[in-house]
Chain A
Amino acid sequence: MNAPFEGIGASVRRKEDLRFISGRGHYVDDMNRPGQLHAVMKRSDRPHAKILSIDTSAALAAPGVVAVYTGTDTAALGSIPCGWQIHNKDGSPMAEPRHPMLAEGKVRHVGDILAVVIAATKQQAKDAAELLHIDLEELPAIANVADAIAPGAPVLHDAAPGNVCYDWHIGDKAGVDAAFAAAHRVITLDLTNNRLVPNAMEPRAAIGDYDSSTGDYTLYTTSQNPHVIRLLMGAFVLGLPEHKLRVVAPDVGGGFGSKIYHYAEEAIVTWSAGKLGRAIKWTADRSESFMSDAHGRDHVSTAKMAIDKDGKFLALHVDTLCNMGAYLSTFATAVPTYLYATLLAGTYTTPVIYAEVKAVFTNTVPVDAYRGAGRPEAAFLIERLVDVVAYDTGMDRVDIRRKNFIPRDAFPYQTPVALQYDSGDYFATLEAAQKTADWAGFPARRAASAAQGKLRGIGISTYLEACGIAPSKVVGSLGARAGLYEVANIRVHPTGSVTVFTGTHSHGQGHETTMAQLVVDQLGIPLANVDVVHGDTAKIPFGMGTYGSRSLAVGGSAMVKAMDKIILKGRKIAAHLLEADVGDIEFKDGKFSVAGTDRSKSFGEIALTAYVPHNYPIEELEPGLDETAFYDPKNFTFPGGCHICEVEIDPATGIPTIVNFVAVDDVGRVVNPMIVEGQVQGGIAQGIGQALYEHAAYDAHGQLISGSFMDYTMPRADNLPNITVATENTMCTHNPLGSKGCGEVGAIGSPPAVIGAIVDALKDYGVRHLNMPASPEKIWSIIQAGRPAMAAE
């Protein structure tokens, strides 16, 4: 009987799913520590106010209450740090106001933490929180970016005059100006990228624990990167050395970026645990998630494309205002700069680009990376602008794309905005998607819909993104305050089974399966003999975590390097046992053999020999078979592809229905096609959510209007079409796997295709662009404006 195919390319079932679907996952809120207390955060319901006084006496006297802390108690502690320093156009560093764990002097957004109440039960803590006497003096507040930079706007931070965090730019301004002056035509598009609430299924939670006998702290937290939290919280906020602080991120129920960041609540429970000598647990209510998880997107941009008379792109100018919220979250500053403006070439040969980005503070929840992180904003801007160029010139949307695509033979391709693409074939993904979506047959389907009184449209996006963040030297030169390598420890046990300790973190992606398949492929052992461990700083040597679709491209590459070391050592052991020269030992299909002979040793025999070194080259080799590798990527990876969306609109109500969605992506080497399909589908679901449904709406004065699922429209299963996912892959040329990343392509590629389809459906109504979300009322209003005399139906 042949062994089942479980290596790279096999759609094996996810190893982790049995525990998830049978209720045996182990999440932070499932944990309880001996003597544990419960923390409740007293949050501001005012967007901007001076704290005149907080009287804690009644709360402290309430049943079960152990402690109440306010910003006065934590004022000597560090600021929650920002991990990336951006510089202004003039070279000066960005404004970086203090981000206290508990509000000091002022609250700056609804959800800002005024006090923490710690009691024996959560119920008691909640009761006591209502007894806090808080005297606030309300201040004028701002929620949107235009208001933030208006003259006379209320200022959030003394350290950020005019509410500006930074005023940054990239590219060749003079070159763009010259190209614009000489161009046949310049086409302008104003657009927004709507603000989103991440809404992971599992709300954030944290337990701080302290052992007074050893001085050891442990933080159990819902994190995508426990080592990063240990570094940020330990070194910058609480002053705890790494060897005294363990951070555990067990099963985590979705992150989408929102669980990358170091949050105030983590520092509060850890610090309080030390103060009180007791474990302290906090779990967010869903309402707290809405007002405290970092939000995503929130850009307002003007994009201008200069073209020649044939529709060839000559120059691109982009001006973006982006919302940082009230404080700088961990990666907030990098998202609208190096993860956005560097992507503005997209899949096109636009020879000269200039972008300026102004980041501003507002009285809203901090904004940071959300699935795609800057690249969805870039893709939406470029792909919508390309559609508008086609619309304004009367050219075909696909022709203009093909005319401007980076040619197949132009890789590696240096863009005018710093990045160098290693590989890609945008014609291949476009043609495959058009074929699968029956692009050519669309006019007939449109006519059939029209006969039923419906408006039908088709939209296309030929996007590109960047994953696998990132070469440490490069990001360091751009302001990152950390390296962005990844770490793998491969522990071969004496009988040849393997435990992988990875610095990445799986919170739904299926790493426990995908990464095990890498071991199957490289070491030739069965999947059942491999376990993948992540999420505990006490077990994993180090790691930068999971975001930016980096886990396979960077974390997987670290595994390959560590396994290379395992195989090299195994060959030395095999050479000794087989009395052959190391140079003659081959390793294939789990066997070390002498080239050209039938003499071999299995992987298991070599492992056993390494741990029971009775017959062993002990003078030259240490016993054991356990290797660690740090892998620092040489470049970003560049997934891309083509998404095609077809919608049908009910003109009487404006309700759009997606009737077909096709995605053909280039994600490089695919390890598990089933998992890739699921990742792409999930990303597309979120992209459709952004395009049609989701919007974190603030009123002009900073009140979050869509603060619950009663008003925040999460896409539901019946909002989504069947999604056809395929890949047309070119290999990444600079990592050992050839993989590029697949976690975000869906969320990046899909929104422009959806909006393009709606605009196409409405093309008889004189509309060239529509901002997200394309709600039924927005669509209906366009139809009404185009046909003012139309009756109700």
Chain B
Amino acid sequence: MYDFAYHKPSSVADAVALLGDSEAKALAGGQTFIPVLKQRLNKPSAVVDLAGLGLSGITVTATTVTIGASTTHVTVANSAEVKKAIPGLANLASWIGDVAVRYRGTIGGSLANNDPAACYPSAALALGATIKTNTREIAADDFFQGMFTTALEPGEIILSASFPIPEMSAYEKFRNPASRYAMVGVFVAKTASGVRVAVTGASQGGVFRHTAFETALSANFSASALDGIATPADGLNSDIHGSAAYRAHLVGVMAKRAVAAAA
């Protein structure tokens, strides 16, 4: 990696001030960013470590699960409260990456990075989460804006994500055989107002809602409701691990399995 200044502020205000330098970068769990630095693919003037901001923790109310931005995947996966309130979310966190990634990686880092093959964006989008930052609250529908792109402004830091508790939810993914990122991940959430289905990994544009599946499942929440509903391969990724057509097929398979697991 290149040389950079390292800061570990203890308040959000200090972190925001340090990130005022346009060449500075925020560091959450570092499970993407540190490898990027090691390969010299990024040359920040400063790295601002967010671990000292006190943003970890999980709060569960009757209607909402709120997870602090610095909360690690393993904490979410092991939380009895999350498992009870939104089992699909705990399950999603339980098989992100590998053990090392789950002990260091954080929900805030994952959402802010918006890797098109990351797991968390699908849960945030399907559950209709609200992302709270130091300046505002952003609905998940507005937050994800294409691969590695979000609504976050320079200097804006995620403080927490709040997930409305659904009636049922589940996550299924087909892992990239090499990297074990989601090649196709589907999060399905059923609430009183309908069903939301979010797909990660498959699309060149990053996480997206599968409205055809949502309509069908809102009418009949069962795997068979998805029979015959094709997912267009246009705009899906194609690489040595799978063509766009294969990914399109897998979206259907994973969605059905998620519905079966949720129901």
User: Counting chain A CB atoms within 10 Å of each CB, which of B223, B239, B240 scores highest?
Assistant: B240
Residue A401 at the B interface, CB < 8 A?
Answer: no
Q: Which of A287, A653, A695 contacts B250 (CB 8 A)?
A: A653
Chain B residues closer than 8 Å to A483, beta-carbon distance: none
Distance (whole angstroms) from the CB of B53 to the closest CB of chain A: 30
CA distance A711 to B228 in the complex (A): 32
CA distance A775 to B240 in the complex (A): 10
In the bound complex, do residue A711 and residue B178 qualify as a contact, i.e. CB atoms below 8 Å apart? yes
A653 with B174: in contact, given A697-B240, A793-B256 (CB under 8 Å)?
yes
Interface segment, one of A247-255, A491-499, A702-710: A702-710
Q: Chain A at the B interface: mostly helix, strand, loop or mixed?
A: loop
In the bound complex, do residue B240 and residue A706 qualify as a contact, i.e. CB atoms below 8 Å apart? yes
Chain B residues closer than 8 Å to A697, beta-carbon distance: 240
Taken residue by residue from 753 to 793, chain A's Cβ proximity to chain B (1 for < 8 Å, 0 otherwise) reads as 00000000000000000000001110011001000000111
A777 with B179: in contact, given A791-B228, A792-B249 (CB under 8 Å)?
no
CA distance A706 to B178 in the complex (A): 9
- Give the contacts of B213-263 with A (CB-CB under 8 A): 223, 226-228, 239-243, 246, 249-250, 252-253, 256-257
Chain B residues closer than 8 Å to A710, beta-carbon distance: 178-179
In the bound complex, do residue A693 and residue B227 qualify as a contact, i.e. CB atoms below 8 Å apart? no
Question: Interface size (A, Cβ < 8 Å)?
Answer: 26
CA distance A127 to B3 in the complex (A): 10
User: Counting chain B CB atoms within 10 Å of each CB, which of A127, A653, A710, A777 scores highest?
Assistant: A777
In the bound complex, do residue B252 and residue A709 qualify as a contact, i.e. CB atoms below 8 Å apart? no
Q: In the complex, what residue of chain B is closest to A715 when comparing beta carbons?
A: B177
Chain A residues closer than 8 Å to B242, beta-carbon distance: 776-777
In the bound complex, do residue B240 and residue A793 qualify as a contact, i.e. CB atoms below 8 Å apart? no
Residue A657 at the B interface, CB < 8 A?
Answer: no
Residue B61 at the A interface, CB < 8 A?
Answer: no
In the bound complex, do residue B178 and residue A775 qualify as a contact, i.e. CB atoms below 8 Å apart? no
Chain B residues closer than 8 Å to A780, beta-carbon distance: 246, 249
Q: In the complex, what residue of chain B is closest to A130 when comparing beta carbons?
A: B40
Chain A residues closer than 8 Å to B3, beta-carbon distance: 123
Chain B residues closer than 8 Å to A781, beta-carbon distance: 246
Chain A residues closer than 8 Å to B193, beta-carbon distance: none
Residue A188 at the B interface, CB < 8 A?
Answer: no
In the bound complex, do residue B246 and residue A709 qualify as a contact, i.e. CB atoms below 8 Å apart? no
Q: Which of B39, B177, B226, B240 contacts A792 (CB 8 A)?
A: B226
CA distance A327 to B239 in the complex (A): 29
Residue A126 at the B interface, CB < 8 A?
Answer: yes
Chain B residues closer than 8 Å to A420, beta-carbon distance: none
- Give the contacts of A665-705 with B (CB-CB under 8 A): 693, 695, 697, 705
In the bound complex, do residue B178 and residue A792 qualify as a contact, i.e. CB atoms below 8 Å apart? no
Residue A652 at the B interface, CB < 8 A?
Answer: yes
Chain B residues closer than 8 Å to A127, beta-carbon distance: 2
Chain A residues closer than 8 Å to B228, beta-carbon distance: 791
CA distance A642 to B102 in the complex (A): 41
Chain B residues closer than 8 Å to A777, beta-carbon distance: 241-243, 246
In the bound complex, do residue A652 and residue B179 qualify as a contact, i.e. CB atoms below 8 Å apart? no
Q: Which of A653, A713, A784, A791 contacts B227 (CB 8 A)?
A: A791
Residue A712 at the B interface, CB < 8 A?
Answer: yes
- Give the contacts of A610-659 with B (CB-CB under 8 A): 652-653
Chain B residues closer than 8 Å to A713, beta-carbon distance: 177-178, 241
Chain A residues closer than 8 Å to B253, beta-carbon distance: 652-653, 792-793
CA distance A714 to B250 in the complex (A): 22
A705 with B177: in contact, given A126-B40, A287-B39 (CB under 8 Å)?
no
Q: In the complex, what residue of chain A is closest to B246 when comparing beta carbons?
A: A777
Taken residue by residue from 166 to 190, chain B's Cβ proximity to chain A (1 for < 8 Å, 0 otherwise) reads as 0000000010011100000000000
In the bound complex, do residue B246 and residue A712 qualify as a contact, i.e. CB atoms below 8 Å apart? no
Chain B residues closer than 8 Å to A652, beta-carbon distance: 253
Q: In the complex, what residue of chain A is closest to B251 when comparing beta carbons?
A: A792
Chain A residues closer than 8 Å to B257, beta-carbon distance: 793
Taken residue by residue from 26 to 53, chain B's Cβ proximity to chain A (1 for < 8 Å, 0 otherwise) reads as 0000000000000110000000000000
Distance (whole angstroms) from the CB of B217 to the closest CB of chain A: 14
CA distance A354 to B242 in the complex (A): 38
Q: Which of A287, A775, A793 contacts B177 (CB 8 A)?
A: A775
Q: Which of A695, A712, A793 contacts B252 (CB 8 A)?
A: A793
Q: In the complex, what residue of chain A is closest to B174 when comparing beta carbons?
A: A653
A705 with B240: in contact, given A126-B40, A777-B246 (CB under 8 Å)?
yes
Q: In the complex, what residue of chain A is closest to B178 when comparing beta carbons?
A: A713
Distance (whole angstroms) from the CB of B95 to the closest CB of chain A: 11
Chain A residues closer than 8 Å to B252, beta-carbon distance: 792-793
CA distance A454 to B257 in the complex (A): 15
Taken residue by residue from 266 to 304, chain A's Cβ proximity to chain B (1 for < 8 Å, 0 otherwise) reads as 000000000000000000000100000000000000000
In the bound complex, do residue B179 and residue A709 qualify as a contact, i.e. CB atoms below 8 Å apart? yes
Taken residue by residue from 450 to 475, chain A's Cβ proximity to chain B (1 for < 8 Å, 0 otherwise) reads as 00000000000000000000000000
CA distance A489 to B3 in the complex (A): 51
Chain B residues closer than 8 Å to A791, beta-carbon distance: 227-228
Distance (whole angstroms) from the CB of A145 to the closest CB of chain B: 19
In the bound complex, do residue A711 and residue B39 qualify as a contact, i.e. CB atoms below 8 Å apart? no
CA distance A713 to B3 in the complex (A): 32
Chain B residues closer than 8 Å to A287, beta-carbon distance: 39
Chain B residues closer than 8 Å to A123, beta-carbon distance: 3
CA distance A66 to B233 in the complex (A): 54
Taken residue by residue from 69 to 98, chain B's Cβ proximity to chain A (1 for < 8 Å, 0 otherwise) reads as 000000000000000000000000000000
- Give the contacts of A701-743 with B (CB-CB under 8 A): 705-706, 709-714
Distance (whole angstroms) from the CB of B99 to the closest CB of chain A: 12
CA distance A784 to B242 in the complex (A): 14
Chain A residues closer than 8 Å to B174, beta-carbon distance: 653
Q: In the complex, what residue of chain B is closest to A706 when comparing beta carbons?
A: B240
Q: In the complex, what residue of chain A is closest to B175 when comparing beta carbons?
A: A655
Q: In the complex, what residue of chain B is closest to A790 when comparing beta carbons?
A: B249
Q: In the complex, what residue of chain B is closest to A692 when comparing beta carbons?
A: B177
CA distance A25 to B66 in the complex (A): 47
Q: In the complex, what residue of chain A is closest to B249 when comparing beta carbons?
A: A792
CA distance A498 to B84 in the complex (A): 65
In the bound complex, do residue A711 and residue B249 qualify as a contact, i.e. CB atoms below 8 Å apart? no
CA distance A710 to B223 in the complex (A): 32
CA distance A697 to B223 in the complex (A): 37
Chain A residues closer than 8 Å to B240, beta-carbon distance: 695, 697, 705-706, 711
- Give the contacts of A461-514 with B (CB-CB under 8 A): none
Taken residue by residue from 141 to 179, chain B's Cβ proximity to chain A (1 for < 8 Å, 0 otherwise) reads as 000000000000000000000000000000000100111
A792 with B227: in contact, given A653-B174, A653-B253, A775-B241 (CB under 8 Å)?
yes
- Give the contacts of B55-77 with A (CB-CB under 8 A): none
User: Counting chain A CB atoms within 10 Å of each CB, which of B223, B242, B249 scores highest?
Assistant: B249
Q: In the complex, what residue of chain B is closest to A791 when comparing beta carbons?
A: B227
Chain A residues closer than 8 Å to B226, beta-carbon distance: 792
Distance (whole angstroms) from the CB of B237 to the closest CB of chain A: 13
CA distance A781 to B246 in the complex (A): 8
In the bound complex, do residue B179 and residue A711 qualify as a contact, i.e. CB atoms below 8 Å apart? yes
CA distance A792 to B228 in the complex (A): 8
User: Counting chain A CB atoms within 10 Å of each CB, which of B3, B39, B177, B242 scores highest?
Assistant: B177
Residues of A within 8 A of B (CB): 123, 126-127, 287, 652-653, 693, 695, 697, 705-706, 709-714, 775-777, 780-781, 784, 791-793
Chosen A-B contacts, 18 in total, with CB atoms closer than 8 Å, are A123-B3, A287-B39, A653-B250, A695-B240, A697-B240, A709-B178, A711-B178, A711-B179, A711-B241, A712-B178, A713-B177, A776-B242, A777-B242, A777-B246, A780-B249, A784-B249, A791-B227, A792-B256
Among all A-B residue pairs, the 9 with the closest Cβ atoms? A792-B252, A713-B178, A710-B179, A713-B177, A777-B246, A652-B253, A777-B242, A697-B240, A711-B178
Residues of B within 8 A of A (CB): 2-3, 39-40, 174, 177-179, 223, 226-228, 239-243, 246, 249-250, 252-253, 256-257
* Besides A127-B2, A652-B253, A710-B179, 15 new A-B residue pairs in contact (Cβ under 8 A), listed by A number: A126-B40, A653-B250, A693-B178, A709-B178, A709-B179, A710-B178, A711-B241, A714-B178, A776-B177, A777-B246, A780-B249, A784-B249, A792-B226, A792-B227, A793-B257
